[in-house]
């Protein structure tokens, strides 16, 4: 498998690399170190300790632009790259991942519309080797530019594969914008209630981000708890934790679909729901 020279491939349990990649059934493709653990905890937990299900992660950027304070205040960009690689490796070890890819691209390169085919090609190379059944990435309505750019690279990679090599399902997950606004019938419920101690351990691994002034671990847990309670207004809670996802599989089945229009349709349905509710009483 041909990856860029800076890329790192980490197999926590020491299995031969090609075997570890090929056994992957659930794969998350994310922009930054820690995005995977916040947006794709449900498949991590689903695969944890299993022998017939294996989770793999791909982090596309190098983490150089991370905010830093406290003990990390004087770290250079190169220092932060090394720190974030080690943090992601720790998460892969704690979570029992089959394999963790760290592609180490600058964020600027991911967002570059003129020269970015190589990133999609690299992702396609990983996807061909892994052949996962389920893929998780950033949702297309996320408000972080690098997240959206990464998702579009991943989508381009997936669409470049022969139809028989594409995953069964593609999900767009919550990070920098939640998906509570989507119509209930369109939401994919990702159960994050299993192994709460594991979820906290995974989030806590990323000390450089938490100490850097952002309490991501509390925010991620709070979102999951809020989703679980507010997912249904007239029923008792059936989840201990919940993330929402957008089902992006239709974009794989019909490659002529425009991703922007696909999301816009869901926004229009949300608008129609709000208008309908208001017109009942006004």
> How do residues 201-224 score in pLDDT, each as one tens digit?
999 999 888 876 678 888 899 999
271 domain residue, yes or no: no
> Is the pLDDT confidence value at 97 over 90?
yes
114 domain residue, yes or no: yes
For the chain, how many structural domains are there in total? 1
> Is the pLDDT confidence value at 266 over 90?
yes
Q: How many CB atoms lie within 10 A of CB 74?
A: 7
275 domain residue, yes or no: no
pLDDT, position 214: 79
Q: What CATH number should be reported for the domain holding residue 188?
A: 3.40.50.10320
> How do residues 46-96 score in pLDDT, each as one tens digit?
999 999 999 999 999 998 877 777 788 888 889 989 999 999 999 999 999
Give the residue numbers spanning the domain of 122: 8-256
**Angle at which helices 77-94 and 196-204 cross, to 10°:** 160
> How do residues 219-240 score in pLDDT, each as one tens digit?
899 999 999 999 876 566 788 9
216 domain residue, yes or no: yes
pLDDT, position 115: 62
pLDDT, position 251: 98
Of the candidate ranges 4-18, 22-36, 71-85, 165-179, the one whose mean pLDDT is the lowest = 71-85
> How do residues 99-148 score in pLDDT, each as one tens digit?
999 999 999 999 988 766 799 999 999 999 999 999 999 999 999 999 99
- Looking at every residue in the chain, the average pLDDT score rounds to 93
CB of 248 within 8 A of CB of 256? no
247 domain residue, yes or no: yes
CB of 229 within 8 A of CB of 133? no
pLDDT, position 1: 77
Q: Mind spelling out the 3-state secondary structure of the chain?
A: CCCCCCCEEECCCCCCHHHHHHCCCEEEEECCCCHHHHHCHHHHHHHCCCCCCCEEEEEEECCCCCCCCHHHCCCCHHHHHHHHHHHHHHHHHHCCCCEEEEEEECHHHHHCCCCCHHHHHHHHHHHHHHCCCEEEEECCCCCCHHHHHHHHHHHHHHHHCCHHHCCCEEEEECCCCCCCCCCHHHEEEEECCCCHHHHHHHHHCCHHHHCCCCCHHHHHHHHHHHHHHHCCCCCCCCCCCEEEEEECCHHHHCCCCCHHHHHHHHHHHHHHHHHHHHHHHC
pLDDT, position 212: 65
Report the alpha-carbon distance of residue 268 to residue 84 in Å, rounded. 39
269 domain residue, yes or no: no
Mean pLDDT of the 227-255 span = 89
Strand order in the sheet with 55-61: 8-10, 99-105, 55-61, 26-30, 134-138, 169-173, 242-247, 187-191
> Is the pLDDT confidence value at 40 over 90?
yes
- Residue closest to 166 by CA, chosen among 132, 118, 119: 132
Instruction: pLDDT band for 182, please (50, 70, 90 cuts).
Output: very high
**Angle at which helices 196-204 and 216-230 cross, to 10°:** 150
Determine what percent of the chain is predicted with pLDDT higher than 90: 81
3 domain residue, yes or no: no
282 domain residue, yes or no: no
pTM over 0.75: yes
């Amino acid at each position: 498998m041909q990856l860029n020279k800076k890329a790192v491939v980490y197999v926590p349990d020491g299995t031969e690399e090609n075997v570890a990649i090929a056994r992957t059934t659930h794969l998350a493709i994310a922009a930054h170190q820690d995005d995977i653990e916040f947006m794709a905890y449900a498949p991590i937990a689903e695969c944890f300790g299993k022998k017939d299900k294996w989770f793999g992660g791909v982090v596309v950027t190098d983490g150089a632009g991370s905010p830093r304070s406290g003990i990390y205040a004087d770290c250079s960009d190169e220092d932060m790259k090394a720190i974030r690689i080690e943090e992601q490796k720790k998460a892969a070890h704690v979570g029992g991942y089959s394999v963790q890819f760290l592609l180490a691209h600058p964020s600027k390169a991911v967002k570059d519309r003129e020269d970015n085919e190589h990133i999609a090609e690299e992702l396609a190379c990983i996807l061909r080797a892994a052949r996962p059944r389920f893929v998780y990435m950033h949702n297309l309505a996320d408000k972080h530019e690098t997240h959206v750019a990464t998702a579009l690279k991943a989508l381009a990679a997936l669409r470049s594969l022969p139809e028989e090599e594409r995953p069964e399902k593609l999900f767009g997950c919550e990070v920098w914008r939640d998906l509570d606004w989507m119509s209930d019938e369109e939401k994919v419920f990702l159960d994050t209630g299993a192994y709460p101690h594991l979820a906290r351990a995974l989030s806590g691994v990323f000390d450089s981000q938490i100490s850097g002034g952002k309490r991501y671990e509390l925010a991620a847990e709070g979102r999951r708890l809020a989703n679980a309670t507010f997912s249904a207004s007239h029923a008792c809670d059936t989840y201990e934790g919940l993330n929402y996802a957008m089902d992006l599989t239709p974009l794989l089945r019909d490659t002529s679909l425009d991703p922007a229009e696909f999301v816009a349709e869901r926004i229009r349905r949300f608008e129609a729901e709000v208008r309908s509710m208001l017109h009942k009483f006004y």
